[in-house]
Structure 1
Amino acid sequence: MYMMVISSALALCAGAAGAAALQIPLLSSHKQAPIQVADEPKPLVNSSALQDLISGDRLMVRAKKMFEIAKLGEDEYNHPTRVIGSAGHLGTLSYIYETILQLGDYYSISNQSFPAVSGNVFESRLVLGNEVPKSAAPMGLTPPTKDKQPVYGALVLVENEGCQPSDFPDTVGGNIAFIKRGTCPFGTKSENAGLKGAAAAVVYNYDKDPVAGTLGTPSPNHVATFGLSGAEAAPIIKKLEKNEYVDAIAYMDAEVNQILTANIIAQTTEGDPDNCVMLGAHSDSVAEGPGINDDGSGTMSLLEVATQLTKFNVSNCVRFAWWAGEEEGLLGSDYYVATLPEEENMKIRLFMDYDMMASPNFAYQVYNATNAVNPNGSEELRDLYLDWYKEQVLNYTFIPFDGRSDYDGFIRNGIPGGGIATGAEGIKTEEEEEMFGGKAGDWYDPCYHQLCDNLGNLNMTAWVVNTKLIAHSVATYARSFKGFPKRTASVASAAYENEIKYHGSKLFI
């Protein structure tokens, strides 16, 4: 591996970029017996044998530990959280590092620190005319209104989609811009509004649904920005198009901070280093809750598979990754891939993403990654998941491969990818209720990005099933890449790029 290997406790910076690094202590309360006597011969990894070692009891022990770690965030956030920059996230990194460290020399451990942005909205309110829209929601990484006080003004309809400064009339100065979603990133719209002197901005949807978006990379010209559903925007647009006056009040108490955080990478010391199986989960939660399913479940599944894999030899190297800053917009995985030298990029034969493995109202979801749109090999990975579910006589469903998780940077940089999930805020259909049980009409995870994403938010059946599938995927490719396409120096197709409206959990266009 080209990254620096660290030999002691993980050193990270928890404050602003450039501050002195904090030494993160190992969690001494977490003890684990050695997995295997060092000189005992090990068999070549076998899928069935590795799957048999996956235990719901062991996963739940990890979950309880993870929730205790999330409580470290209570002093700052008044509730458990593992958001980047919090004590809960630093504790998570320490736990991951210690767990791998205890496995001896089976893995080399590396730490990749990187600058990140962390946003938090403490309070917000939007009033349009005499209405308080129910769908109004702050954009991710939005700045506050001036002096963190309410701003008042006329609502000004912006031409086109606000992707050019010329779309904004001079009358937007000191007022609140009303901008249609589409064509360009939300951050561009907010920046253009700020350049024209707008006091705040509202981006409304072109269909009836709400907009849960992010401004992305901060700009000094961004203004406090809300998303609004097309359904609530429609009657307002009619008034504005008739040149009727609509007054507005916008209030945002928010902050956007620059911090340092880190990815943790663990790679087997054995196995062909030029042919690596790579898989990842994100170590952080949103600020609103402890994130025990999102993505504590994926984080812990990888830790358990990494632990049990030490009982076997591997033919190809296996590289586990725990990404930071996923909830802020795939920051860690993007940084990792962007800084990979081309030679190192080509050593990764495929990347597997495991985000949300235990949603309570679950469906067994497989990313519909095809070779026609994605790097060659993505479809073979997809089919490995399908074949396994079929062998287990389990139903499955396809979900869009649309940039919502950490696979995105890999696909954009020519690395085949895919993964599985159990669902987030999407609505379970009646057909899926017949296929998987649960309740049609409800979210797959009713506690998605909320405080209640705690120990009670885990479906153990789904979690164990999918952790076994993770084990199967690791064992299959750690044993052999026979029949799997060779890497080529390709990038994502234009078709993939055109489909991507997400960058992480939030829309960015």
Structure 2
Amino acid sequence: MLDLKVKKAVAAGAAGVVIVNDREGDMRGGLTGPQARVPVVGVRKQDGDLRGYAEIVASTMSERRVTRNLIVQTPQGRTDEVIMVGAHLDSVQEGPGINDNGSGSAAVLELALRMRQFQPDRAVRFVWWGAEELGLLGSKHYVESLSQQERENIGLYLNLDMIASPNSIYGIFDGDDSDRVGEGPGPRGSDEIERTFQAFYDSRGLPHTGVDFTGRSDYGPFIMAGIPAGGVFTGADAQKTAEQAAQFGGIPDKPLDPCYHLACDTIKNIHLVALDVNADAIAHAVAAYAFWDR
């Protein structure tokens, strides 16, 4: 989480912070918000890798905008172990955001509409987050505004962000860090969520792979609060490896979503099969937990 990095840098005596992107390509940088006590800017990876001295000139604008989260909950079901399902509703200014994240938002909406026919044992809370692209602002505000008891009343959180990338993989958030690569595990219970999704893909004879909790989507505030989390993900700007192409098909050495944060993220940028499969996957997971009365 970038704000955590900034806080640690300030605590160590930094007069300013330059955050270097961890991957190639352009990035949007700027002040992290009113909570930052020092100037904070971001630079591209290729610029951060250069040796030498540089003077950074940043033109910034600070303003207040109002955004909202949309929250819907089933009237039936226990409320001491609520099942939460969420997707961010906003997109970047550079593109319409049909995969990022119209795909996840549409799947959550369809699931919410279907749930009207059922009476779950546990209440299901559907959320469409605001301002994810500005730093997970909607989900951060939501989690931070909860009392400790309200946090404990959330059984788990399932995240849908980019579930229909054109050059897709079937990624499951690695709840137990079973691959021992990259980021660590999620909170206790996240491993069980991962296994639930694995069982779904296995039942369909579909390949799947673990993806790290990098903190780049709305599960971030939940795992920081110790709430079990999981979800599915078909990829963003990372290049598809030869191994992934052999496993999932598609084109190696090309981005999983070639239109990530670009104007071409239109309805033509959707992998319809992946969208259908992953919508079913999330419905399977919700059913597994919402209708399991123990």
TM-score of the pair, normalised by structure 2: 0.86
Q: Give the alignment partner of residue 284 of structure 2, picking from 469, 472, 475.
A: 472
1:321 aligned counterpart, secondary structure: strand
Verify: 1:217 aligned to 2:33, yes or no: yes
Verify: 1:417 aligned to 2:229, yes or no: yes
Find the aligned partners of 2:164 and 2:23 in 1 and give their Cα distance. Answer: 30
Verify: 1:300 aligned to 2:91, yes or no: no
Distance 1:457 1:270, change over 3 A: same
> What are the residue-to-residue correspondences of 1:222-371 with 2, within 5 Å?
222=39, 225-230=41-46, 233-234=49-50, 236-237=51-52, 240=53, 250=57, 252=59, 254-370=60-176
Q: Is the 8 A contact 2:186 2:213 kept in 1?
A: no
Number of the residue aligned with 2:253: 441
Deviation of 1:213 (Å) = 6.3
> What are the residue-to-residue correspondences of 1:60-459 with 2, within 5 Å?
184=6, 192-193=15-16, 209=24, 212=27, 214=29, 215-218=31-34, 219=36, 222=39, 225-230=41-46, 233-234=49-50, 236-237=51-52, 240=53, 250=57, 252=59, 254-370=60-176, 373-459=185-271
Q: Which amino acid aligns with 1:449?
A: H
Find the aligned partners of 1:187 and 1:286 in 2 and give their Cα distance. Answer: 28
Q: Deviations over 1:60-119 (max 9, x none)?
A: xxxxxxxxxxxxxxxxxxxxxxxxxxxxxxxxxxxxxxxxxxxxxxxxxxxxxxxxxxxx
Number of the residue aligned with 2:181: none
1:376 aligned counterpart, secondary structure: coil
Find the aligned partners of 1:456 and 1:331 in 2 and give their Cα distance. Answer: 28
1:433 aligned counterpart, secondary structure: helix
Q: Is the 8 A contact 1:186 1:213 kept in 2?
A: no
Deviation of 1:229 (Å) = 2.7
Find the aligned partners of 1:292 and 1:202 in 2 and give their Cα distance. Answer: 31
1:471 aligned counterpart, secondary structure: helix
1:296 aligned counterpart, secondary structure: helix
Q: Is the 8 A contact 1:276 1:318 kept in 2?
A: yes
Q: Which amino acid aligns with 1:222?
A: P
User: What are the ranges of 5 or more consecutive residues in structure 1 without an aligned counterpart?
Assistant: 1-139, 141-181, 194-200, 241-245, 483-509
Q: Is the 8 A contact 1:279 1:319 kept in 2?
A: yes
2:284 aligned counterpart, secondary structure: helix
Distance 1:274 1:220, change over 3 A: closer
Q: Deviations over 1:455-483 (max 9, x none)?
A: 1110100000000111111111111154x
Q: Which amino acid aligns with 1:387?
A: A
2:68 aligned counterpart, secondary structure: strand
The structure whose residues are more often strand, as a share, is: 1
Find the aligned partners of 1:447 and 1:315 in 2 and give their Cα distance. Answer: 40
TM-score of the pair, normalised by structure 1: 0.51
Distance 1:220 1:462, change over 3 A: same
Find the aligned partners of 1:386 and 1:340 in 2 and give their Cα distance. Answer: 31
The percentage of counterpart residues that share the same residue type is 38
Distance 1:426 1:250, change over 3 A: same
Distance 1:458 1:209, change over 3 A: closer
Q: Is the 8 A contact 2:86 2:129 kept in 1?
A: yes
Deviation of 1:192 (Å) = 2.0
Between stretches 260-269 and 271-280, larger displacement belongs to 271-280
Find the aligned partners of 1:202 and 1:312 in 2 and give their Cα distance. Answer: 51
Deviation of 1:428 (Å) = 0.4
Deviation of 1:212 (Å) = 3.8
Q: Deviations over 1:229-256 (max 9, x none)?
A: 357743x42xx5xxxxx7x68464x533
What is the aligned residue count?
Answer: 283
